């Protein structure tokens, strides 16, 4: 049996599945239910400084994007950090950690970008017995207008400065949570590392307006006829999160920096992909809010079964295995050729592959053969783009087959693929630069 136990920055948990800082981790009641369901750890909903309470809207807080089957694809929220008193959160965190010593408990923190504010709250959090802190530099709405959250996360100099304060005033491991609302995620990651962070977590939510009500002409969710941008999360943001994780994992300046992966993780497979790109654990929010805390059991069982099937004894056995295979476009082998192939036994003759290829691609799929409705790939025209695979409604009906030899669709001449290192290939415009 695969061992799913996690040791992230010395923080041990029975599995790598943590709940992200969000509504599901706002109070002891929720967190204890999560632990009973099997979650390996939680990041408590973001704490603010002592003082005037945070006031959330008393109306709709979520907007959603649904698929045709009403499945939730993306969730937008305009909720702020915890609106519960700091002392209540700290007391409950202390009690929960005592009851569940084998689970990870991380305190997410967001206070003004002032040294004294961080210096004041860190000892209070440390006294709860929390295993670490997560600096919320990602929240894109509400708090950012107050000079916190993403307003800090978008300025590398601020990130480095606050991380240094935290490393000075606490013994706890520091995880820096990064915003995706930035041009190049490597820069804030480098800044966090320069400040001494122990790890980064990403991604936080993406600035968004998910829809506009065409009766009231207000964004959704709407509060008394008006709306605001919010933070977007859920399965729809996973591709963005994977790319940003990969950028940090393969960057020369941040390579080896521990990463906690966040962004649209719904299944064990999603988690495995983040771990393969270098993450030491994963954080989940929208899936729990959609399906409840017991969804973690499917993640645990699925990941364990897959690891057993591959012979992986721990997540460290495959962590980061995908990173060397992520490269820049100019280093791809342009002599590698694949062609689409349609399984006629599986084909339901819907014609979607033909329409997509005929109208928007390379006119490489027939519609009629000998007067009968028939869909077949014309090898000489197929450029291997795989659009047909993605629009076909039948799994594995259309597959991409590597060619040991074939016809170059651009020149119409036979070609024997050259699998040599593309970095030095004469057709690579970057070959000379790479050589120098």
Neighbours of 7 (CB within 10 A): 14
Residue keyed to tokens 């959250």: 149
Reduce the DSSP state of residue 192 to 3 states and report it. Answer: helix
Q: Quick one: CA torsion of 31, 33, 36, 37, rounded to 10 degrees?
A: -100
**Alpha-carbon span 199 to 254, nearest angstrom:** 10
Distance CA(188)–CA(157), nearest Å, equals: 8
Distances (CA, A) of 20 to 65, 247, 346, 354: 21, 21, 42, 43
Q: Which residues of 242-264 are buried (b: 16+ CB within 10 A; e: fewer)?
A: bebbbbbbbbeebeebbbbbbbb
**What single DSSP character describes residue 308?**
H
For the range 311-314, what are the long-range contacts, defined as Cβ-Cβ under 8 Å and sequence gap of 24 or more?
A: 312/2, 313/2, 313/3, 314/2, 314/3, 314/4, 314/5
| Distance from the Cα of residue 25 to its chain's centroid | 19
**H/E element holding 274?**
helix 268-276
Q: Has 233 been annotated as catalytic?
A: no
Q: Which of 431, 356, 428, 434 has the alpha carbon at shortest distance from 392?
A: 356
Query: What's the rounded Cα separation, in Å, for the pair 186 and 324?
Result: 17
Backbone angles phi, psi at 30, to 5 degrees: -65, -45
- Residue tagged active-site, from 113, 139, 382, 392: 139
174 is written with which tokens?
């520091």
Active-site residues, by number, are 139
């Amino acid at each position: 049996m695969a061992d799913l136990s996690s040791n992230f920055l010395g923080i041990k948990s029975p599995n790598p599945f943590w709940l992200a800082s969000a509504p599901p981790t706002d109070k002891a009641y929720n967190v204890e239910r999560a632990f009973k369901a099997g979650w390996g750890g939680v990041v408590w909903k973001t704490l603010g400084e002592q003082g005037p309470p945070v006031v959330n809207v008393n109306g709709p807080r979520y907007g959603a994007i649904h698929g045709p089957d009403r499945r939730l694809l993306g969730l937008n929220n305009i909720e702020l950090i915890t609106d519960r008193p700091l002392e209540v959160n700290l007391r409950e965190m202390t009690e929960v950690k005592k009851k569940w010593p084998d689970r990870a408990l991380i305190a997410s923190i967001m206070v003004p970008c002032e040294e004294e504010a961080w210096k004041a709250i860190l000892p209070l959090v440390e006294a709860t017995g929390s295993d670490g802190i997560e600096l919320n530099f990602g929240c894109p709405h509400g708090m950012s207008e107050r000079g916190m959250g993403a307003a800090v996360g978008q300025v590398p100099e601020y990130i480095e400065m606050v991380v240094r304060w935290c490393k000075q005033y606490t013994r706890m491991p520091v995880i820096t949570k990064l915003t995706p609302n930035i041009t190049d995620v490597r820069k804030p990651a480098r800044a966090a590392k320069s400040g001494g962070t122990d790890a980064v977590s990403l991604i936080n939510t993406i600035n968004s307006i998910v829809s506009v009500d065409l009766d009231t002409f207000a964004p959704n969710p709407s509060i008394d006829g008006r709306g605001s941008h919010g933070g977007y999360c859920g399965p729809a943001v996973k591709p963005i999160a994977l790319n940003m994780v990969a950028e940090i994992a393969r960057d020369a300046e941040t390579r080896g920096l521990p990463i906690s992966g966040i962004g649209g993780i719904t299944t064990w497979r999603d988690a495995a992909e983040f771990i393969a790109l270098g993450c030491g654990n994963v954080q989940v929010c929208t899936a729990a809010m959609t399906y409840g805390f017991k969804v973690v059991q499917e993640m645990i069982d699925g990941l364990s079964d897959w690891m057993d099937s591959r012979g992986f004894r721990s997540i460290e056995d495959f962590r980061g295995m995908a990173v060397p295979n992520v490269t820049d476009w100019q280093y791809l082998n342009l002599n590698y050729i694949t062609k689409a192939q349609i399984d006629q036994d599986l084909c339901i003759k819907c014609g979607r592959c033909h329409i997509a290829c005929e109208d928007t691609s390379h006119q490489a799929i027939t519609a009629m053969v000998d007067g009968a409705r028939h869909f077949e790939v014309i090898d000489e025209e197929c450029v291997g783009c795989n659009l047909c695979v993605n629009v076909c409604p039948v799994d594995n009906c259309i597959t991409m087959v590597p060619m040991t030899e074939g016809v170059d669709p651009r020149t119409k001449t036979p070609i024997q693929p050259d699998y040599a290192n593309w970095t030095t290939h004469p057709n690579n415009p970057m070959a000379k630069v790479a050589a120098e």
